[in-house]
Amino acid sequence: MLTTTASTTGRALLRLQSSARDCLGRRLASTAAAPPGVWTDSWRDGIVGTVGKTPLIRLQKASEVTGCNILAKAEYANCGGSVKDRAALFLIKDAEKKGLLKPGGTVVEGTAGNTGIGLAHICNAKGYKCVIYMPNTQSKEKIDMLRLLGAEVRPVPAVPFDNPENYNHQARRFAEATPNSVWTNQFDNTANRLAHYHTTGPEIWMQTNGKVDAFTCGTGTGGTLSGTGLFLKEKNPKIKVVLADPPGSVLFSWFKKDKLERTGDSSITEGIGQGRVTENLKGSKLDDAVHVPDSASVEWTYRLLHEEGIFVGASTGLNVAAAVEVAKSLPKGSTVVTILCDSGLRYQARLFNKEWLESKALYNAIPMAYRGSAL
Ligand SMILES: Cc1ncc(COP(=O)(O)O)c(C=O)c1O
């Protein structure tokens, strides 16, 4: 009986292996049968081959309090440590395909940091130079990381998009003036959302066997929400796609009132919130939007750390707060999927620092029992 079960499982595994592909659409390398239950993705092709195929984690406590399955994609497991590695890879492949990037060329991007970190990893692996323009409000950890990867980092004052000195316009102008270089333009180049349409969405569909009722996450470029949402909607139009928005962003009011008005002043979350509708967000199929105050993002960041053992940044806190909100509006037993964007290590000096949180009047947002871990 045991032998039959094992060989049946073995045959199933072989079938799975022969059809399994990585995020570039290539067949996976493994060919040998593995014992049942053993992960068979034996090797991947360079660092580029490690982008995607991230675990989908059922959050135990968040699921318990809502009576739903709250599932979260562990995007910190990507090679550069964030959800933006998927976009970075597709933006570079897009530039290569269009002949805009030749061997030894330079990739230029305006980024809050995570896309830059993803680009810098892939540039090193592919032999490109990397120049990053970023608002000088971003965390030191992200700037240091970019520099140690060999990227040239140019922090610039954080000014709105309609100001010519905005980091994106500076990145574009630098690329235009530099031979054999490309501005990857993550906000308005829809190769970004295609990364999620072709990888994140299908992975979620496969990992849940198509049992998804809702998908929610915050938006910076909008690539993750839009691309994943478009794929899931194509598979099942009943899946609810919900925008999660921090204070200071105009997107909540854009969805609710068709007006680009900021809700609240500003947010301590990094990489999310927008002042405009990007090309990546345009045409996305949204069912609803939730506004998440920073107090809820901080609360869930600390709850994830202490109740689930998951150490992440505040944009993930916001995503899980939104997933809990969405779950409360659905029947018990529903499945809501969200994104674990990046690691808390990127924000240690701020988000996990008592003095800094107090300066933002957010220390008391940490549940009492967990306050000891703000150093
Ligand atoms: C930490 C973090 N979370 C979420 C996002 C949002 O992802 P997207 O640009 O796909 O909307 C970003 C984008 O930079 C980010 O850095």
Q: How many CB atoms neighbour CB 282 within 10 A?
A: 12
Could you say which DSSP state residue 312 is in?
Answer: B
Question: Can you tell me the mean pLDDT for 148-175?
Answer: 95
- Cα of 341 vs centre of ligand 1, distance in Å, is 7
Residue 13 has pLDDT above 70, yes or no: no
Helix (H, G, I), strand (E, B) or coil at 326: helix
Question: Do 330 and 65 touch, CB atoms closer than 8 A?
Answer: no
Mean pLDDT over each residue of the chain, to the nearest integer: 91
What pLDDT, on the 0 to 100 scale, is given for residue 141?
86
Nearest residue CA, atom 2 of ligand 1? 271
In the structure encoding, which two tokens stand for residue 82, read together? 């964030």
Q: How many CB atoms neighbour CB 172 within 10 A?
A: 17
- Cα of 115 vs centre of ligand 1, distance in Å, is 8
* Ordered DSSP codes for 301-322: HHHIIIII---B-HHHHHHHHH
Residue 18 has pLDDT above 80, yes or no: no
Name the region of 261 (left: φ>0; alpha: ψ -120 to 50; beta: rest): beta
CA distances to 84, 87, 124 from 146, rounded to whole Å, are 14, 17, 11
What pLDDT, on the 0 to 100 scale, is given for residue 21?
52
What pLDDT, on the 0 to 100 scale, is given for residue 142?
85
In the structure encoding, which two tokens stand for residue 133, read together? 């323009």
- Cα of 82 vs centre of ligand 1, distance in Å, is 8
In the structure encoding, which two tokens stand for residue 204, read together? 């979620």
Ligand 1 within 6 A of 114 CB?
A: yes
What pLDDT, on the 0 to 100 scale, is given for residue 39?
62
What pLDDT, on the 0 to 100 scale, is given for residue 364?
98
Condensed to tens digits (0 to 9), the pLDDT of residues 40-82 reads: 667 888 999 999 999 999 999 999 999 999 999 999 999 999 9
Condensed to tens digits (0 to 9), the pLDDT of residues 220-255 reads: 999 999 999 999 999 999 999 999 999 999 999 999
What pLDDT, on the 0 to 100 scale, is given for residue 16?
39
Q: CATH 3.40.50.1100 in the chain: give the residue spans.
A: 52-81+190-365, 103-179
Residue 3 has pLDDT above 80, yes or no: no
* Ordered DSSP codes for 8-65: HHHHHHHHHHHH-B-TTSPBPS--S---TT-------STGGGGSS---EEE-HHHHHH
What is the C-alpha end-to-end distance of the chain, expressed in Å?
Answer: 56
Nearest residue CA, atom 13 of ligand 1? 271
Ligand 1 within 6 A of 233 CB?
A: no
Question: Can you tell me the mean pLDDT for 111-131?
Answer: 95
What pLDDT, on the 0 to 100 scale, is given for residue 37?
66
Residue 264 has pLDDT above 50, yes or no: yes
What pLDDT, on the 0 to 100 scale, is given for residue 293?
98
Name the fold adopted by 103-179: Rossmann fold (3.40.50)
Condensed to tens digits (0 to 9), the pLDDT of residues 275-301 reads: 999 999 999 999 999 999 999 999 999
What pLDDT, on the 0 to 100 scale, is given for residue 196?
98
Residue 126 has pLDDT above 60, yes or no: yes
Mutate to test the pocket of ligand 1, among 75, 86, 117, 272 (most ligand atoms within 8 A of CB): 272
What pLDDT, on the 0 to 100 scale, is given for residue 241?
99
Ligand 1 within 6 A of 118 CB?
A: no
Condensed to tens digits (0 to 9), the pLDDT of residues 325-368 reads: 999 999 999 999 999 999 999 999 999 999 999 999 999 999 99
Task: Say what the pTM is.
Answer: 0.90
Instruction: Match 């990007």 to its residue by tokens.
Output: 278
In the structure encoding, which two tokens stand for residue 179, read together? 């031979």
Residue 80 has φ and ψ, to the nearest 5°, of: -95, 5
Ligand 1 within 6 A of 278 CB?
A: no
What pLDDT, on the 0 to 100 scale, is given for residue 8?
38
Ligand 1 within 6 A of 318 CB?
A: no
Question: Do 92 and 181 touch, CB atoms closer than 8 A?
Answer: no
What pLDDT, on the 0 to 100 scale, is given for residue 32?
60
| Class level of CATH domain 52-81+190-365 | alpha beta
